[in-house]
Amino acid sequence: MQYPKLIAHTGCEGTSYNSLESCEAGVKAGAPILEVDVRVTKDNVAVLQHVDEPSVSQLNYEQLLETGQKPETLNRVLTQFSQLPVAFNLDLKTEEAGLAAIADVTATSTWSQVWFTGATGLIANSGYSRHVMWNLPKELSELDEVSYRQQAAELCQLAAEAKFGGVNLQYECCRPYLVQQAHLHGLQVWIYTLPYDQNLFFKYMDMGVDAVTVYEVKKFAALRAVMPEDGGA
C-alpha cells in the first residue's frame, strides 16, 4: 500500500480559512499539497475566498477592501510558496476565477505546483487540462454497486479523454472499483474531506487513493508510524 499524499484543507490546524497562516500551518504539519478557495473580483484579481459575501465579482479589489474584507490574493500566496516543495489545490468557486488563476500561475511561474478543482470548465478548455482534478458528482454515493460501476467506468473514460490529471470526489463516493478504473486510465484519485479516523484512513489507503484532503494534518501525518505491516512508504 502507498501512503496517500495529504492535502491540507484551508483552515487546517485551527487557522483562519484562506490565509497565509493556514498555508504555513499545512506545510509545517507535513502536507505536500495546500487547498485554497479562489474567486475573482470585477477587475480580475484572484482572491482567496469561499463565500460570495459581499459579491466579489461585482467589486474591484480596492472596493472589496473598503467593505472591511481583506482577502488574501492568489498571486501573493503563490509567490510566497513558489520556491518550496509544495503544491496547491486551487478550488475554483466560479468558472471566471479560472482565467484569473491562470494569469497568476503564469506570472509566478508555478505551473509545476498547481492543480485545479471545483468549477474547472474554462480550465479544461484552456490547454491546461492536465492540471484539472475533475470533481465527480456527489450522487455516486447513492448508487447500487452495478450502477456505480457503470457510472465510474464512464466518468473515468471521460476524464481520460479530456486529458485531466485525475478525479476529485467526496470520500463517501469512493469505492475500490472507481480507483481501479481511474488508475487504469492513468488518473490520480483525490478524496475529500476525511474526518480523523485511523481505520477509515487505512481503508482508503488500502483502496489506493493518491491524496486525501484533511483538516487535522498533524494527526494524519502521525499515522505513518502505525501503518499496517504490509504498508509501503
Query: pLDDT per residue over 68-89, tens digit each?
Result: 989 999 999 999 999 999 999 9
Place of cell 491562470: 102
In this prediction, residue 232 has a pLDDT band, given cuts at 50, 70 and 90, of: very low
Q: Using alpha carbons, select from 155, 171, 161 the residue that is nearest to residue 207.
A: 171
Distance CA 123, CA 205 (A): 29
- On the question of pLDDT at 159 being above 90, the answer is yes
Asked if residue 49 lies in contact with residue 80, where contact means CB atoms within 8 angstroms, the answer is: no
**Does residue 229 surpass a pLDDT of 70?**
no
Hey, where are the domains in the chain? 5-226
CATH 3.20.20.190 fits 5-226, yes or no: yes
